[in-house]
């Protein structure tokens, strides 16, 4: 592939669009023109491949060294935490005056993290990639219970901190929805953080992945 190999800029700050952190949908189309033997991958497939390479790269750089076969759910969680430094979603700390406000009126110093929806989609792709690359479903670290629990904690924490309910966009019932909204204290707004929950948006910029690693599985 023709990944740009600027390994020294992990921030990916050159990407103007905060929601699509990695993806470059037009790239594969151009590729298929110049490289006829390579069948064009779907956006999901190429994203999955990129994520997988990123994870392998992470294992490679891990200290102490870590192999895929020794990788546990705890390591996956560690990986997700590591990715937060590349995040673009403001998550307010509990002391911030904007804690729980979906649309703060002013900037604050709270950290940027990976949006829950991005992590959730990432885990789904990596889980699939693991098995496609020969891993056994029983030992799939991306399917570990600890990872699910961690994701749920991130989801709940971000929902509170950002005041953004993480629910699948529900069809708005225009007529007489009496009971629905009663239980959730916060009214679901149209903002909803929807963009960040897109299943195809990447988590890290592609220039992270310098050299695709061929696994020895």
Q: Which residues bind Zn ion (CB under 5 A)?
A: 92, 96, 98, 108, 110
29 versus 108: smaller Cβ distance to Zn ion: 108
3 versus 101: smaller Cβ distance to Zn ion: 101
- CA 28, 23, 5 angle in degrees (round to 5)? 80
> 163 — alpha (psi -120 to 50), left (phi > 0) or beta?
left
For residues 94 and 91, give the distance between their C-alpha atoms in angstroms, rounded to a whole number: 9
Q: Check residue 95 and report its DSSP letter.
A: T
CB neighbours of 10 closer than 8 A, spacing ≥ 6? 85, 86, 204, 205, 208
């Amino acid at each position: 592939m023709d990944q740009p190999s600027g390994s020294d800029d992990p921030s990916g700050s050159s990407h103007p669009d905060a929601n699509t952190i990695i993806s470059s949908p037009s790239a594969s189309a151009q590729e298929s023109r110049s490289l006829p033997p390579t069948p064009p991958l779907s956006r999901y497939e190429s994203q999955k491949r990129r994520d997988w390479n990123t994870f392998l790269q992470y294992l490679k750089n891990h200290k102490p060294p870590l192999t895929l076969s020794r990788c546990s759910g705890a390591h996956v969680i560690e990986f997700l935490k590591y990715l937060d430094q590349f995040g673009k979603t403001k998550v307010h700390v509990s002391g911030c005056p904007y804690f729980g406000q979906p649309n703060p009126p002013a900037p604050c110093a709270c950290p940027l993290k990976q949006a829950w929806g991005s992590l959730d989609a990432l885990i789904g792709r990596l889980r699939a990639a693991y098995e496609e690359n020969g891993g056994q479903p029983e030992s799939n670290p991306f399917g570990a219970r600890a990872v699910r629990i961690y994701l749920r904690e991130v989801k709940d924490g971000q929902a509170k901190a950002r005041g953004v309910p993480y629910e699948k966009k529900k069809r708005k019932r225009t007529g007489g929805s009496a009971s629905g909204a009663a239980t959730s204290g916060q009214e679901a707004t149209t903002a909803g953080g929807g963009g960040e929950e897109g299943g195809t948006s990447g988590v890290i910029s592609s220039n992270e992945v310098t050299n695709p690693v061929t696994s020895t599985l």
